[in-house]
Amino acid sequence: MFDDLILPMRCGHDDAISLFGELKTRGLIIGTDEAGRGSLAGPVVAAAVYLTDEQEESLIAMGLRDSKRVSPKGREKLFSAMNEAGVIWRAYMADNFRVDRDNVLNAALWAMGESVTRVARKLTGNIACVVDGNERIPELDIPQWVLIRADDLIPCVSAASIVAKVLRDRLMVIYSERYPGYELERNKGYPTQRHINALRGIGLSEIHRRTFCRKIMNTDRRYKF
């Protein structure tokens, strides 16, 4: 079991690998991460991943790490490899309305919890999860280790960051066709200067986060639906 372990919220690479190895001797470990917290538009997408030792070794050899440190082509290649290897993963989306209602942190934690729960249902035995960041997932029924920079330290969390980023980027490309003018296919909803200029010129689309755009938009600007 995991309950007697006291784990740090922040540690270096060697300590993280050592502690993760200890966790794996006690059961099955799910990693979870999200993508899109800083975006002005679109959802937060969270993913949860369980890796076997063989899958972990293969993906590390391919360059698995935090999605922010992998090129778009590299992320797609890793995601395809996960699917070909039968990696167990699930993803969940918190849309912009939930982000505005609950705030982005709570929306992200909710989506992470939903993803972890769905992966856990596919597994049998003692199960725990590693959560990227410094906030615990509320009401999660399995033990969790919250670790800052887990997405670059723990392989299953790195894999979750890849899944979340790939799925969200694909979704934003689809949104770019539905909501032209914002260059969502390029900026993925993040606040580039061209995106900000488009917001001020066109107005808000249906998928823009009102709470994120208040400081950008003047109060008399129109909303576009």
Q: pLDDT tens for residues 22-80?
A: 999 999 999 999 999 999 999 999 999 999 999 999 999 999 999 999 999 999 999 99
CATH numbers and ranges of domains, the chain: 13-176 (3.30.420.10)
What pLDDT band is residue 217 in, cutting at 50, 70 and 90? confident
Q: Look at residue 190 and tell me whether its pLDDT is greater than 70.
A: yes
What percent of the chain has a predicted confidence (pLDDT) above 70? 96
167: number of CA atoms within 13 Å, CB side?
A: 22
pLDDT (0 to 100) of residue 216? 85
pLDDT (0 to 100) of residue 218? 64
Mean pLDDT, the chain, integer: 94
CA distance 189 to 169: 9
What pLDDT band is residue 198 in, cutting at 50, 70 and 90? very high
CA distance 108 to 34: 7
What pLDDT band is residue 221 in, cutting at 50, 70 and 90? very low
217: number of CA atoms within 13 Å, CB side?
A: 21
Token pair 């935090």 is at which residue?
66
Q: Look at residue 224 and tell me whether its pLDDT is greater than 70.
A: no
Q: Look at residue 222 and tell me whether its pLDDT is greater than 60.
A: no
What percent of the chain has a predicted confidence (pLDDT) above 90? 92
pLDDT (0 to 100) of residue 219? 42
pLDDT (0 to 100) of residue 5? 72
* Total number of residues shown for the chain: 225
Segment 106-110 shows an average pLDDT of 98
In DSSP terms, 90 is beta-bridged to 48
Nearest to 28 by CA among 47, 10, 12, 49: 49
Paired tokens of 75: 């992320």
